[in-house]
Structure 1
Amino acid sequence: MFVVTVTYTAPLKDVDQWRPAHGEWLNDLITRRLLLVAGRQVPLVGGVYLTTDMPAEELAQILASDPYVLNNVATHSVVEFTPLLLADGLESLKN
């Protein structure tokens, strides 16, 4: 499983023009259950995603298709982790 942080590398006015395409991209990944959670950082300097378990190479390909990345307005940072302690109801996230 991975936590991905998104960092904007361009002014918000430049990021905003790609927000609809980025939102569609996120919705597709959530529908396909490749992402479990996606949201904005506070303050708005980027975002955060929680992914399902997948090979790192697959995640790299997915992130490379982000409209923000394709249009050079954001970068991603990835942390892989193994869930060990989970709240009730989230047991399916544990390998």
Structure 2
Amino acid sequence: MFLIELTYKVPFTELEPFMAEHLAFVEKGYASGHFVASGRKVPRDGGLIFSQASGKAELEELMQSDPFVSQNLVDLRIIEFVASRVEEGFKGFLS
């Protein structure tokens, strides 16, 4: 499991022109099975994505397709973790 953190480097108004493309990227991440949850942080200074992947390198490559990343609008942080406890509906996330 991985937690992907995006933190805005620019004012939100500079992100808006890329928002539709970013949302399409996120949708593709769900369709491919890489993303399992996502949303914006509070306060709205970025977003988080919970992800499954074979490795960190795979996610680093995948994230280069996000226009927020490729346009250098956000700082990208990918944190790998091992889920040791989950709610009943999330048992598939346990290693």
TM-score by length of 2: 0.95
Q: Which runs of 4+ in 1 moved over 3 A?
A: none
Q: For residues 71 and 25 of structure 2, what CA distance do their matches in structure 1 show?
A: 14
Structure 2 counterpart of 1:16? 16
How many residue pairs align between the two structures? Answer: 95
Q: For residues 7 and 77 of structure 2, what CA distance do their matches in structure 1 show?
A: 8
1:65 aligns with 2:46: no
Q: For residues 84 and 72 of structure 2, what CA distance do their matches in structure 1 show?
A: 35
Structure 1 regions of 5+ residues with no counterpart? none
Structure 2 regions of 5+ residues with no counterpart? none
Identity %, equivalent residues: 23
What SS does the aligned partner of 1:15 have?
helix
Please give the per-residue CA displacement for 1:33-76, whole angstroms capped at 9, x wherever unaligned. Answer: 10111100011100000001421110110112211011121121
